[in-house]
Amino acid sequence: MDRTRTLFGLTLLTLLVLVPARTGTAQNPSTASHKAVGSWFGRAVQVCDRGVAPVACAFGRPAQVLLMTPTLSPDGLFVADDTLTLQSDHLTAHGQWRAISGIEFLADYMFLLRPLPGFPAHTVSGLRARWEGQVVDDNTLVGWVNAYLTPAVPVTWTRLAEHEFPAFPPEGVPLVTAPSRFIRDPSSCRTPECPLVFKFTLKRVTL
């Protein structure tokens, strides 16, 4: 009996060593093995309200066309840059992404940009965005972007005590908080809090 138990234990240990642990399930797919992992380049085009001319696509502003260079890492990190977002230079976008299925994914990220016209001095503007994307093939992604302009964040010096740290600015909360909805048709959203809506196609940057 003891010999049988020993053999069973050795067999079980061998299986545990040789069979790799699963990193995802049908309900919670893995980012590590997802086909969206990689570096990409492509174009995003703003979607205008139905019947609205592109010269006044959203909030009276012309429609935007962006070239994007995002990277989706196996560990779920997301970084990206693009050209002339909202006609203003900005810092690198960074955030997180997660798999929804074997081909679908969500990405949430933020970046800072120069104050937009009409914003107070000594502030920095911000943008919070969400992607809903899908893998078309090994080298192609398509999807949608919702981009929310956030309140201007003040950049002011504060005197701190020895054991005191700066307070997190309340204006920055929208930059670190995921949107509660996703809009594909801008005509369905009529409030000042509505996002700018884009559609994109990306191609993998290959070796």
Is 156 part of a structural domain of the chain? yes
User: Could you give the angle at the alpha carbon of 23 between the alpha carbons of 20 and 25, nearest 5°?
Assistant: 115
How many domains are there within the chain?
1
By the 8 A CB rule, do 183 and 189 touch?
Answer: yes
Instruction: Note down the domain range covering 107.
Output: 30-204
pTM of the model: 0.81
**Residue 82 confidence class, pLDDT cut points 50, 70, 90:** confident
Is 119 part of a structural domain of the chain? yes
Q: Which of 37-41, 147-151, 203-207 has the lowest mean pLDDT?
A: 147-151
Residue with tokens 């970084």: 79
Is 17 part of a structural domain of the chain? no
SS (H, E, C) 28-71: CCCCCCCCCCEEEEEEEEECCCCCCCHHHCECCECCCEEEECCE
Give the mean pLDDT of 104-131: 88
Q: What is the CATH number of the domain that holds 91?
A: 2.40.128
Is 8 part of a structural domain of the chain? no
Give the mean pLDDT of 142-169: 94
Is 13 part of a structural domain of the chain? no
Q: Over the stretch 9-64, which tens digit does the pLDDT of each residue have?
A: 434 333 333 333 344 555 568 999 999 999 999 999 999 988 888 888 887 788 88
